[in-house]
Amino acid sequence: MSGGDKLRLIVVTPERTLLDEPVASLRFPLYDGDIGILPGRLPLIGRLGVGELHITAAAGETSYFVDGGFVQVIGPNVTLLTNRAVLASELSADEAEKQLTAALAKGAITDEEVTARFAEQQRARKMLALAEKSE
């Protein structure tokens, strides 16, 4: 691949810059659905959802669990600002199962509580699915 055929992926969490490397392509969740990014993509700013960040690079394929945030695509640079990014191979299906059980057992009365409970359930389900896929 020539330099013009690559993207530069930067993943930033509140603690540190997790990744800053060239990639061939990537796929990640937006707030309203998944999107794939290839070189030559038009500029984009979007709200990240919860789920799998799938990266294809020269070294192979890698997946991370991302937990919301924002994305910006300008030229070959793709920047993801996320609350949390965990390598899929480091996820524990047992821990995700516990989080799902806790989210399902949580009570909710107000609209805000119902919305928060649903978000916790979705986050735990997506984490569990990625953990099981990575095993």
Same domain, 107 and 127: yes
Q: Are residues 32 and 60 in the same domain?
A: yes
Q: What is residue 19's predicted lDDT score, i.e. its pLDDT?
A: 95
Q: What is the pLDDT of residue 134?
A: 79
Which amino acid is residue 96, in one-letter code? Answer: A
Q: Is the pTM of this model over 0.85?
A: yes
pLDDT tens sequence across 10-60: 999 999 999 999 999 999 999 999 999 999 999 999 999 999 999 999 889
Same domain, yes or no, for 81 and 110? no
Amino acid at 38: L
Total of domains in the chain: 2
- The answer to whether residues 78 and 126 belong to one domain is no
Q: How far apart are CA 53 and CA 30, in angstroms?
A: 10
* pLDDT tens-place string over residues 84-131: 999 999 998 999 999 999 988 888 889 999 999 999 999 999 999 999
Shared domain for 84 and 48, answered yes or no, is yes
102 and 124 assigned to the same domain = yes
State the residue range of the domain holding 59: 3-88
